Amino acid sequence: MDTEENKIKPVKKRYYRKRVRIFNLIDKIKLWPSRTGKLHGIRTIEIMGDTAKLTTHCNKEFLISNSLNSRAGRWLRNKWFVQVCPKCRVPDWKLEKYSSTLFKRHQGSMLLKNKD
């Protein structure tokens, strides 16, 4: 009767701190929601102090600041986006990984020193 349920593999959940440094987070998940709600795949992140230059797979460049309360920081943690950028060709596994990522105040990695 319940064979369907047994077939479903549990998705491994990842936990990150809510106060994780936004640059470290982007470096880890390689995704970025633009102002128009497009979720881009990040090819490179170049950190220059409190600013970082993101280059997307569709060759767009974004300059971002390391603010936890920035629009993009909130959007990333809440996983808000309107559509996935078709030009960036973000693979499905990456989106699944992202959707199983949770942000907690007292639990999870701060993504320091490239651990985790």
**Interface residue with Zn ion, options 88, 103, 108, 111 (CB under 5 A):** 88
Query: What minimum distance in Å lies between the beta carbon of 73 and Zn ion?
Result: 19
Does position 76 interact with Zn ion (CB under 5 A)? The reply is: no
Does position 58 interact with Zn ion (CB under 5 A)? The reply is: yes
Query: What minimum distance in Å lies between the beta carbon of 4 and Zn ion?
Result: 36
**Amino acid letter, residue 105:** R
Closest CA to 90 of 22, 18, 44, 31: 31
DSSP H helical segments within the chain, as ranges? Answer: 3-7, 22-29, 71-78, 92-99
Residues in 20-49 at the binding interface with Zn ion, rule: CB under 5 A: 40
**Interface residue with Zn ion, options 42, 85, 90, 111 (CB under 5 A):** 85
User: In what helix (H) or strand (E) does residue 88 lie, and over which residues does it extend?
Assistant: none
Q: Please give the Cα distance from 76 to 12 (Å, whole number).
A: 19
**Which spans of this chain sit near Zn ion (rule: CB under 5 A)?**
40, 56, 58, 85, 87-88
